[in-house]
Amino acid sequence: MRITVTVPGTLLICLLAPAAVALAQNRPPTAAVAPQENPLSAHNKAIYSGVKAILLRSAEKMPEENYGFKPTDAVRSFGQVVGHVADAQYIFCSIVRGEKNPAPGIEKTKTSKADLIAALKDAFAYCDKAYDSLTDASAVQMVKLMGGDTPKLGALATNNIHTVEHYGNLVTYMRLKNIVPPTSEPEFMQQMMKK
């Protein structure tokens, strides 16, 4: 059997592995782990919850005056990346929910920190329903994504990968502004792992 790991997938593993190791070292041993209902969809939802938390934390940490910052003219500004991620939540999750994409055009219409954070929270609330409704049985139902067929679980996993890809952009922008990104904040990561 051949396993292929993509660059975004590797990034996700690199982001979450240190936190998982730290968490495992701080937990007392348990006699037995109860089997989880819907382990595939539950795991994908757990990843989504973590990614959502670090994206919201990033948006909150960046000062308003830096929302227009771009390292070069060829890339999106910090605020545009936040808006793009919000728009993408609607794209992926409307497919899984079997709905027409509401297509709010956040990246092109919102510029202030408050408006972008509110729009990002709304987008995640929309996506929460897609992740919450997924079971391992429904995860294999096929949907159209980017011109091809993919299982619902695949569409939501792609959403996670896409969001992590853009978290990487935000990390760079934050570092250039001497702001510590969420995944480098030990207290934030410990709180996140307790959820």
pLDDT tens sequence across 101-160: 998 899 999 999 999 999 999 999 999 999 999 999 999 999 999 999 999 999 999 999
Query: Over 70: is that where the pLDDT of 166 sits?
Result: yes
Task: Check pLDDT > 70 for residue 9.
Answer: no
pLDDT over 90 percentage in the chain: 74
Which pLDDT score is estimated for 19? 45
Confidence tier at 39 by pLDDT (50, 70, 90): very high
> What residue ranges do the domains of the chain occupy?
39-182
What phi, psi does 142 have (nearest 5°)?
A: -85, 140
What per-residue confidence (pLDDT) applies to 24?
42
pTM, two decimals, is 0.81
Digit-coded pLDDT (tens) for 47-104: 999 999 999 999 999 999 999 999 999 999 999 999 999 999 999 999 999 999 998 8
Calpha distance 16→37 (Å, rounded): 22
CA angle 123, 127, 132 (to 5 degrees): 150
Domain 39-182: CATH class, spelled out: mainly alpha
Q: Who's near 192: CB < 8 A, 6+ residues apart?
A: 19, 50, 53, 54
- Asked if residue 94 lies in contact with residue 176, where contact means CB atoms within 8 angstroms, the answer is no
| The token pair that represents 124 in the structure block | 């995640």
Residue 32's CB is within 10 A of a number of other CB atoms, namely: 5
